[in-house]
Structure 1
Amino acid sequence: MTTPFYVSPQQAMADRAEYARKGIARGRSVVVLQYADGIVFVAENPSRALHKVSEIYDRIAFAAVGKYNEFENLRIGGVRYADLRGYTYDREDVTARGLANVYAQTLGTIFSSAAEKPYEVELIVAEVGEGPEDDQIYRLPHDGSIVDEHGSVAVGGNADQISSYLDQHHRDGLTLAEALKLAVDSLSRDNNGGERSLTAEQLEVAVLDRTRPQKRKFKRVLGRQLSRLLEPEEGAAGSETESSGTEESDG
């Protein structure tokens, strides 16, 4: 009988992590920013059917990069967890922190299991609070760790370069138009230091807007509304009329 090929546990985990990171890096990036009235999600995504950004619950949204079928399964599981917890206890008991813990356990279990490949996904779970100081943004890498983010965060693609740009230019109190422009500028930068041109048709944009009177704070920014926000001359005006030309997500 032949002797099985031996790989140290450390090397095996390093190989799994490298496999997952390469899969995530092949995807287009997603940027999440805090602005004065909430949190904005901007993804480079020309598809209008396969969303990278979705609603989870009243004040909570989800963004992901990587393999669509894998993060879609996680999204669906998160919606079921939130609905069940809100129904069993109270809607206020559904929090981004609790959801992030559930995702961390799932990703961590899959990553450490030798029976299946690690998920090639990186997630962001965000919750808008009563004020900017109450906002919560959590980033969950492929291995199930949780990173508490503040201000801005980028995942997928050349996330390191985008995050560095955001750290230098993001500030508190941005309007929606200013935050959207900053997000698009960061996504437009390529690995060689040049810039690409991104149009409204290439972007998926959604917000958690704390000023909305209803419980559900999530809404997508689409069509003419998004085009107005992307135009420098009319961006400020578009921010003032953001309630028009938008569509609510069904999750």
Structure 2
Amino acid sequence: MTTPFYVSPQQAMADRAEYARKGIARGRSVVVLQYSDGILFVAENPSRALHKVSEIYDRIAFAAVGKYNEFENLRIGGVRYADLRGYTYDRDDVTARGLANVYAQTLGTIFSSAAEKPYEVELIVAEVGEAPEDDQIYRLPHDGSIVDEHGSVAVGGNADQISSYLDQRHRDGMTLAEALKLAVESLTRDTNGGERNLTAEQLEVAILDRKRPQQRKFKRVLGRQLSRLLESEGTAAAEDSSASSEAEEAEETEETEE
């Protein structure tokens, strides 16, 4: 009779965590930022059928990276939880905090179970409040822990590099166009320090708009509206460049006249 191979619990958990992290890192990144009128979601996603960002309930949205079939199951479960709780009690009883706790229990149970592999997913659950200080953003890694985020957060791909870039440049009170510009700039930076070009067709953009009169605050930014926002960024940059060039020419003219 052969002796079974022994692996310490610590090593087993470390191996499972490394397996999940590698799977998540292969996915394209998602960025979530607060702006003056709500919360912005930007994902690098050329597909128009397989969404990384989705609505869960009136003021709550969901973003994920990793294996699509796994986070899609979690999204469906979140929608069912929210609908049942809102119907049984009250719509105001459905909160991002409650949903994040449900996801944390599910992910934690799967991660600690030796009977199945851990989910290769990382989630963001966000809720827009009546004021910016009431906004809630929760990040849930593969092991079911909950991280309360503020301002900006990135998951998937080179999330550490993107998060560092966002932390240095994000500020309170940004407009939607400014927040979108910052999000796209962060996503275009690759691991080697270079930059790529991302077009509107390669982006999935959505917002939770606190100013929206409807009870449901989730809205996708598509087509012409997204193109106009991206073009306004380029126009603003061109105007700044033109203004600085004119100022330099004026200084050179003054020096020549002297």
TM-score by length of 1: 0.93
Q: Please give the per-residue CA displacement for 1:43-83, whole angstroms capped at 9, x wherever unaligned.
A: 00000000000000000000000000000000000000000
Structure-2 separation of matches of 1:16 and 1:160:
20
- Pairwise CA distance, 1:235: 16
- Pairwise CA distance, 1:232: 3.4
Structure-2 separation of matches of 1:34 and 1:118:
30
Comparing 235-244 and 10-19, the one that deviates more: 235-244
Q: Measured at CA, do residues 88 and 35 of structure 1 come closer, stay the same or move farther in structure 2, by a change above 3 Å?
A: same
Structure-2 separation of matches of 1:95 and 1:85:
10
Structure-2 separation of matches of 1:163 and 1:135:
19
Contact 1:228 1:235 in 2 (8 A): no
- Unpaired runs of 5+ residues, structure 1, are none
Q: 1:249 aligns with which of 248, 252, 256?
A: 256
Specify which structure has the higher proportion of helix.
2
Q: Measured at CA, do residues 245 and 112 of structure 1 come closer, stay the same or move farther in structure 2, by a change above 3 Å?
A: farther
- Pairwise CA distance, 1:207: 0.1
2:238 counterpart of 1:225: no
- Pairwise CA distance, 1:244: 43
Name the larger-Rg structure.
2
Q: Please give the per-residue CA displacement for 1:179-213, whole angstroms capped at 9, x wherever unaligned.
A: 00000000000001010000000000000000001
Structure-2 separation of matches of 1:171 and 1:143:
30
- Pairwise CA distance, 1:245: 45
Structure-2 separation of matches of 1:105 and 1:153:
22
Q: Measured at CA, do residues 248 and 191 of structure 1 come closer, stay the same or move farther in structure 2, by a change above 3 Å?
A: farther
Structure-1 separation of matches of 2:256 and 2:202:
19
SS of aligned partner of 2:75: helix
Identity of aligned residues (%): 90
Would you identify which runs of 4 or more consecutive aligned residues in structure 1 move more than 4 Å?
233-251
Q: Measured at CA, do residues 129 and 48 of structure 1 come closer, stay the same or move farther in structure 2, by a change above 3 Å?
A: same
Q: Measured at CA, do residues 247 and 61 of structure 1 come closer, stay the same or move farther in structure 2, by a change above 3 Å?
A: farther
Q: Measured at CA, do residues 25 and 32 of structure 1 come closer, stay the same or move farther in structure 2, by a change above 3 Å?
A: same
1:235 corresponding residue in structure 2: 241
Comparing 9-18 and 234-243, the one that deviates more: 234-243
Structure-2 separation of matches of 1:249 and 1:77:
71
Q: Measured at CA, do residues 240 and 56 of structure 1 come closer, stay the same or move farther in structure 2, by a change above 3 Å?
A: farther
Q: Please give the per-residue CA displacement for 1:78-122, whole angstroms capped at 9, x wherever unaligned.
A: 000000000000000000000000000000000000000000000
Structure-2 separation of matches of 1:19 and 1:130:
40
Structure-1 separation of matches of 2:204 and 2:211:
21
SS of aligned partner of 1:24: helix
Comparing 226-235 and 15-24, the one that deviates more: 226-235
- Pairwise CA distance, 1:246: 48
What pairs with 1:63-102 in structure 2 (closer than 5 Å)?
A: 63-102=63-102
- Unpaired runs of 5+ residues, structure 2, are 234-239
Q: Measured at CA, do residues 68 and 249 of structure 1 come closer, stay the same or move farther in structure 2, by a change above 3 Å?
A: farther
Comparing 22-31 and 231-240, the one that deviates more: 231-240
Q: Please give the per-residue CA displacement for 1:112-151, whole angstroms capped at 9, x wherever unaligned.
A: 0000000000000000000000000000000000000000
- Pairwise CA distance, 1:231: 1.3
CA-based RMSD of the aligned residues comes to 10.5
- Pairwise CA distance, 1:247: 53
Contact 1:221 1:247 in 2 (8 A): no
Q: Measured at CA, do residues 194 and 14 of structure 1 come closer, stay the same or move farther in structure 2, by a change above 3 Å?
A: same
TM-score by length of 2: 0.90
Structure-1 separation of matches of 2:41 and 2:253:
14
Q: Measured at CA, do residues 72 and 191 of structure 1 come closer, stay the same or move farther in structure 2, by a change above 3 Å?
A: same
Give the total of aligned pairs.
251
